[in-house]
Amino acid sequence: MGGDPLVWSAREFVLAMLDDFGMVAFDDLLFRIDGSPVTLPWGEQRTWSHLVFSIIKSFEKRIGYAPLDVDKLESPRDRMLFLGVIADVVREEKSLDPDKRKRYLSRLREMLAAQTVSAANLLRMAFRLLVVCQVRPAYRQWLHSFFRAVRGQQSVRMLRLADLPELVDDANRFASLLASEDRIAAPLAPRVLFVPAGDHAAVKYEDASGPRQPGEDSDHEAGFGSWSVRGSFLFYIAGVWTAEEASRLHITVLEACITTFSTPTYIESPHFRDVSHFLELSDNTGAEWMARRETPHAPMLQHIAAKRASILEELGVFVTTARVSSEENVWADDLSRQRVDKVEREAWAIGLQPVRLEVPAKWRDLSWLLARA
């Protein structure tokens, strides 16, 4: 190991949450510098994880955190309950604690039966359900309605559930999940930025433009654009926002919309039917982070994030979003401003055959979003 502190620190990871501490460590056998094994009094060789466990207990006592809570103290093991989730390094998964599952379901049913709930209790319920979302990440989209309902309502004594139909629908979805026989678990896996390569993957560039501003080119029309290359073909999408969409939806919302409905448009084209992964490039920071984190604060982006997640789950497609500068997003910008002829000429000039794709009506329809604007 040597004396490199980075190498030593890579042998374990500590997570602290208020007064709860969890740790992952490599359980290597311990040896002295002369190569002899470090043994316990009864002859068993000591391991790294138990050494670290002893050090942590000593440190906690030294800073006055004693006596340690015996109910929460667990020695090194392959399976441990921590913050409502059971981490199992043998099965390589994390799952929801069965006791938490029962309690959360009971609390949800009580809340729905009461017909009213205080903002404070609704927020507590949302944070409890975040534990469920740890092991079912896709269902994080069901919590947007909870946080929207409590925003700015802390001074309100009680909220009527009859006034919050979206919240009730999402709460019932959580209740159905918790009451089902489904196992609520997720694999222990890192979140990494994948780089698409091969026939199963594609790259797409997206952009949207708002109403023409004073001084802009007269040929400009508020619209959306996207393009992707497959073989010797340039596939592109270009369209115009309706007057209502362009005037009522913020440019970040419009940018998020094209990233949402371009994916199913490509997938429904014969040339993309084998594609399961997209690298998506956007020059709008708000739309980029909406897609990357799926936890936007703006209500309109929350609705889009939920819709997007539902579409991707339905299609069985995975999308990762990255930033591209406006200077590197020229074709998508041109397409969003209806400069289709320019893009096609430049494509032919470099040996690409342009193919225009039309967004199917079921994906293009934004009436569900305008109703919330």
Q: What is the model's pLDDT at position 153?
A: 75
Question: pLDDT digits over 124-139, tens only?
Answer: 999 999 999 999 988 9
| Whole-number pLDDT of residue 53 | 83
* Rg of the chain in Å (alpha carbons): 26
- Confidence check: pLDDT of 191 > 70: no
Q: Is 193 inside a domain boundary?
A: no
Report the domain count for the chain: 3
Strand partners, 45: 39
Instruction: Tell me what the mean pLDDT of segment 169-191 comes to.
Output: 91
Residue 85: half-sphere exposure toward Cβ, Cα within 13 Å: 23
Average pLDDT over residues 88-93: 89
Same domain for 209 and 170? Answer: no
Which pLDDT score is estimated for 62? 82
What does the mean pLDDT of the chain come to? 88
328 and 228 share one domain: yes
DSSP state string for 141-176:
GGGHHHHHHHTT-TT-S-EEGGG-HHHHHHHHHHHH
pTM score, whole prediction? 0.78
- Let me know whether 242 and 328 are in one domain: yes
Q: Has residue 83 been placed in a domain?
A: no
124, 162: one domain: yes
Q: Let me know whether 210 and 272 are in one domain.
A: yes
What residue ranges in the chain does DSSP mark as E strands?
12-17, 20-25, 79-82, 85-88, 93-96, 116-117, 159-160, 185-187, 201-208, 223-230, 233-240, 277-282, 318-323, 353-356
Within 10 Å of residue 318's Cβ, how many Cβ atoms? Answer: 14
Q: Give the tens place of pLDDT for each residue, 251-298.
A: 999 999 999 999 999 999 999 989 999 999 999 999 999 998 889 999
Residue 105 inside a domain? The answer is yes
Same domain, 297 and 268: yes
- 250 pLDDT exceeds 80? yes
* Domain end call among 157, 187, 217: 187
Task: Give 353's strand partners.
Answer: 233
Q: How far apart are CA 205 and CA 61, in angstroms?
A: 56
**Of 123, 155, 187, the domain-final residue:** 187
Does 207 share its domain with 105? Answer: no
CA distance 206 to 332: 5
Q: 4 versus 218: which is more confidently predicted?
A: 4
Whether the per-residue pLDDT at 219 is higher than 80: the answer is no
Residues 168 and 301 in one domain: no
Checking if the pLDDT of 347 tops 90, the result is yes
Together in a domain, 209 and 169 = no
Whether 90 is covered by a domain: the verdict is no
**Domain range for 343:** 201-370
Query: Is residue 2 predicted with pLDDT exceeding 60?
Result: no
Residue 24 lies in a domain: yes
CATH code of the domain covering residue 351? 3.30.420.10
Name which of 130-139, 218-227, 337-346, 353-362 the model is least confident about: 218-227
In a domain, 22, yes or no: yes
Average the pLDDT over 232-236 and give the result: 97
Lowest mean per-residue pLDDT among 54-63, 164-173, 254-263, 355-364: 54-63
Is 210 in the same domain as 178? no
pLDDT band (50, 70, 90) for residue 6: low
Is the domain of 68 the same as that of 212?
Answer: no
Q: Does residue 295 share a domain with residue 176?
A: no
pLDDT digits (tens, 9 = 90+) for 142-162: 999 999 999 877 667 789 999
Angle at 164 between CA 161 and CA 166, to 5 degrees: 125
CB within 8 Å of 33: residues ≥ 6 apart: none
Q: How many CB atoms lie within 10 A of CB 213?
A: 8
Percent of the chain exceeding pLDDT 90 equals 62
pLDDT at 151: 87
pLDDT more than 70, % of the chain: 88
Q: What is the dihedral of CA 119, 121, 127, 133, to 10 degrees?
A: -100
pLDDT for 196:
61
